[in-house]
Amino acid sequence: MNFRPTIFICGILFVIISCTDASKKGQFDVRDFGAIGDSIKINTDAIQKAIDICHQKGGGTVLIKEGVYISGTILLKNNVTIHVNKDASLVGSSNPIDYQSIDTFVDATGQERGNCLIGAVNASNIKITGDGTIDGNGTAFLHKNIVAKKKELGIDDTDKKFGVNRPFLLRFVKSSAITLKDIQLRQPAAWTCHFYQSHDIVVDNISIYSHAHHNNDGIDLDSSFNANIKNCSIDTGDDAICFKTTSPLPTHTIKVTNCTLKSEWGALKFGTESMGDFYNIQIKDCQIRDTRGGGIKILSVDGANIHDIDIDGIKMDTVDMPIFIRLGERLRTYRNAPKQQVGSIHNIMIKNITGTTRNLETSRVSPPSGIFITGTPNHKIGRIQLQNIDITLPGSATSSDIKEVSEQIDKYPEYSFFEVLPGYGLFGRHIKQLEMADLNFDIKNPDHRAPIVLNDIEKSNKDGIESIQNK
């Protein structure tokens, strides 16, 4: 008995000395703050304490080493890096009570959003790095599992809000100088990585796999600017890289290069949340594979003016609707912002595109088309340039497949809702200026549709139409 106080005091001194040594090096091991990587303990408080002390001491790196660390919401602070080692995983808790909502809002599907595993609000110079894994444990938030969790916790099953605000994996709100590098992001319950009203962003060589739940986007740039996304591999059930504006502030000055994308809904997407403008966005040298919901989708339906977009060097393999551009009049609002006027789409350059569509059996619209561009009768799309585009399609449409295409001016903008289009290569309408050069559509089977059908076009170049090849 006489030795126990001495041992206890020595233990305290050891922890203090360890933390002090770590502080001197600018590194803060979460284990020194009580975290245990046993895949059981909830480590939220310990990891947050490491972040807070790191921040208080002027910044540094919070280390997550060896093990599986379960956590609820942790918030990054100025000048703090979270580094997850290759042999470590940070995994989201299965209990909704362990999460915080930051900047709560309602998205385009009408769902409340804001919870996250890692968040930041008004933070600067923050990083998430390492070869390890951050896993959102998204299947825990499937309906059947939420029902089971309510029963386990003794929560009244009539509580309809429990678990509804499914946590994002990473969420950055009004923050700046953000870096994500090398990290593996896995299985969130909602979006994987959301940047809202943030700027000066670098996302380099990260890997995303997100198929645990619904609305599981990869990277969402929302009213954000000055971002560079490169060398990433993204495989999602919803949009892979999505430019949004859930506020009237624009998303602009973005570069996306050398990324490999796979999606069940859209690989490169502008919208549908589109209150603020989108401009000065360059996408280059990316590959899109096995995508069911569209390769390139540019959608202004809530008032956005989308202009000065340059998409160059995209290779698509087995992709539904390679290019879809839609100006619509839905005019949904978010975050109590006033309703916008109908927006515009102008100065869009899409060039050096090669691709094959999905086959007849797996296409959402069968037989598919290659390019669909449409405004509305009262709001035409501006200048669109299409250059050096080569798309292979299955063909096989019969005369009975050819029907009048509905307008759907105020509906959710999805190409599949318009059903089979009258042009197997390109169907365009309500456009002020369409410039085409070297468009090639290769169909595998006879098709009763024309290669290109244009309606209500103010100006188009004859050379572009004549260059179409029906091989």
**Average pLDDT estimate for 435-452:** 97
Give pLDDT tens digits for 45-70. Answer: 999 999 999 999 999 999 999 999 99
What pLDDT is attached to residue 410? 97
Q: What is the mean pLDDT of the chain?
A: 93
State the pLDDT at residue 265.
94
pLDDT digits (tens, 9 = 90+) for 20-45: 454 458 999 999 999 999 999 999 99
Summarised one tens digit per residue, pLDDT across range 133-176 is 999 999 999 999 999 999 999 998 888 889 999 999 999 999 99
- Tell me the pLDDT tens digit for each residue of 318-339: 999 999 999 999 999 999 999 9
Query: What would the pLDDT profile of 94-123 be if each residue is shown by its tens digit?
Result: 999 999 999 999 887 788 899 999 999 999
- Calculate mean pLDDT across residues 8-12: 40
Going by pLDDT thresholds of 50, 70 and 90, the confidence category of residue 220 is: very high
Query: What is the tens place of the pLDDT at every residue in 359-370?
Result: 999 999 999 999
Backbone angles phi, psi at 53, to 5 degrees: -70, -40
Look at residue 110 in the predicted model and tell me its pLDDT: 84
pLDDT higher than 70, residue 7: no
Residue 471 pLDDT level (bands cut at 50, 70, 90): very low
Q: Residue 23: is it exposed, middle or buried by C-beta count within 10 angstroms (0-12/13-18/19+)?
A: middle
CB 127 within 8 A of CB 170: no
pLDDT, tens digit, 9 for 90 and up, residues 338-381: 999 999 999 999 999 999 999 999 999 999 999 999 999 999 99
Q: How confident is the model at residue 462 (pLDDT cuts 50, 70, 90)?
A: low
Predicted confidence at residue 24, as pLDDT, reads 53
Residue-level pLDDT at 315: 98
* Amino acid, res. 129: T
Give Cβ neighbours of residue 408 (< 8 Å, ≥ 6 apart).
328, 417, 418
Using alpha carbons, select from 233, 231, 228, 270 the residue that is nearest to residue 250.
Answer: 270
**DSSP strand pairing (100-106 vs 112-121):** antiparallel
Average pLDDT over residues 413-439: 97
Q: What pLDDT does 1 receive?
A: 38
**pLDDT tops 50 at residue 15:** no
- Closest by CA to 296, choosing from 338, 326, 332, is 326
Strands (E), 136-240: 168-173, 176-181, 184-186, 193-196, 199-204, 207-210, 219-222, 225-230, 233-236
Looking at residue 464, what is its pLDDT? 55
DSSP letters spanning 10-58: HHHHHHHHHHHHHHHHTEEEGGGGT---EEEEE-HHHHHHHHHHHHHTT
Looking at the DSSP bridge assignments, the partners of residue 254 are: 227, 281
